Amino acid sequence: MKQQDQIDVMRRLFALREQDRNEEMLGKVVRVPVENYTSPEILDREMAKIFRTHPIVAGHVSSVREPGSYLLSDWNKIPYVVVRDKQGKLRGFLNQCRHRGARLVSGDEKQLKAFVCPFHNWVYDLDGSLRSVTREYNFPDLDRGEYGLKELPVVEAGGLVWIHPAADAEVDLESYLGPMLDDLVDFEVDKLVRYRKSKVVKEANWKLLIKTYLEGYHVPYLHRTTLSKMFRKGVLSHSEHGPHIRMIAARSNIEEAAEIDPESWRILNYASVYYVLFPNTFFIMHPDYVSINIFYPEGPDRTIWTHEMLYREPDFEGERGQEGLAKRFEFTNDAVFDQEDFAVAENVQEGLLYGANEFHTLGLEEGLLAMFQGSVDDRLI
């Protein structure tokens, strides 16, 4: 985020604290039908109209810096593998042999020198070309050029790796993300490294899980013993670019910034910055670490959730640094996300079965939930 943008946002947060109000969102109460979280038909349309037509985050670039390093899909509905080839180019492929479709990469490999099919030992180079066929005399007239791995578009930008599930798609992230991409570049997300990644199945709709992040209305209550201490008199400022949302939450210490020169303000010292990277990634910039949360629908009421925590190596050196990271991961992943945010989302999902509500009613401070739902709905028409 450019320095002047940080100054402008900080001043908005000061003004909002004076009013004890969040920045105006939609300015109206919205009702969202609960069938959005229970209907198999709606999920089928989301898969066809959203997940197969938009680029999605595959992971952080630190996982694929060296030739042979790779990122493997956490979701069998789009079974890709992204690899850095021997020439240093990032490539994405469907993780399937072109012979009879066996999975090539299991995830147990530390590094790839080639793609080797475990079924019949067909071998592919890291650029996807078919190198060798076992007992090739069994395949007279086989044109190896027609049997390379199925390639998918991959783009590295802002420290993140993006992949598109459509082989013929063109991915223009500068246009797609706009100022959100500028923020990721300015925050030097590419210089971070992974601390740990978790993968869990939650019994809730993917949109319900994302929506737990999109308002501060619940923080003093659901997070009364955790986050509420850090966000006393918390207020939110937001902006949008297409279906993407940036949300900035003032932390309890923001008043300290009034005593120093605005030109030296660093927004992450006084606020947390959240991004909905449409459709299914929630990216959080904390003062000293980053969380990448990605949600993959398995069913209307079942979602794979991955959480990758990143950090800047000089900030957490040695044994003491690693202990600090462990505490942050336990606090964020286990206490706040899993035991509070997503536990209540699962509670809500289960309650949908009993018919108390045909709609969820979103108040003025929950407008970002309605914006996100609107971005989904617009693409299902």
Tens-place pLDDT, residues 320-355: 999 999 999 999 999 999 999 999 999 999 999 998
pLDDT value of residue 377: 98
Q: Averaged over 351-377, what is the pLDDT?
A: 96
Among candidates 193, 177, 171, 35, which has minimal Cα distance to 90? 171
- Kind and range of the H or E run holding 37: none
Reported as a pLDDT band with limits 50, 70 and 90, residue 368 is: very high
- Decide if 302 contacts 203 (C-beta within 8 A): yes
Least-confidence region, from 17-26, 27-36, 149-158, 203-212 = 17-26
Closest to 294 (Cα-Cα) out of 230, 380, 360, 202: 202
Q: Is 100 exposed, middle or buried (0-12, 13-18, 19+ CB in 10 A)?
A: exposed
Instruction: Say if residue 233's pLDDT is above 90.
Output: no
For residue 84, what pLDDT is reported? 98
Contact yes or no for 304/74 (Cβ under 8 A): yes
Rounded to whole angstroms, the Cα distance separating 164 from 23 reads 34
Confidence of residue 313 (pLDDT cuts 50, 70, 90): very high
- Identify the pLDDT of residue 74: 98
Share of the chain above pLDDT 90, in %: 98
What does the CA dihedral 126, 116, 81, 84 come to, rounded to 10 degrees? -30
Q: Which residues contact 221 (CB under 8 A, 6 or more apart)?
A: none
Stretch 218-226: mean pLDDT: 96
Q: Could you tell me which of 122, 116, 127, 147 has the C-alpha nearest to residue 84?
A: 127
DSSP string, 72-118: E-S-TTS-EEEEE-TTS-EEEEESS-TTT---S--S--SS-SSEE-T
> What is the tens place of the pLDDT at every residue in 96-140?
999 999 999 999 999 999 999 999 999 999 999 999 999 999 999
Q: What is the model's pTM?
A: 0.96
Taking residues 219-224, report their average pLDDT. 96
pLDDT of residue 234: 85
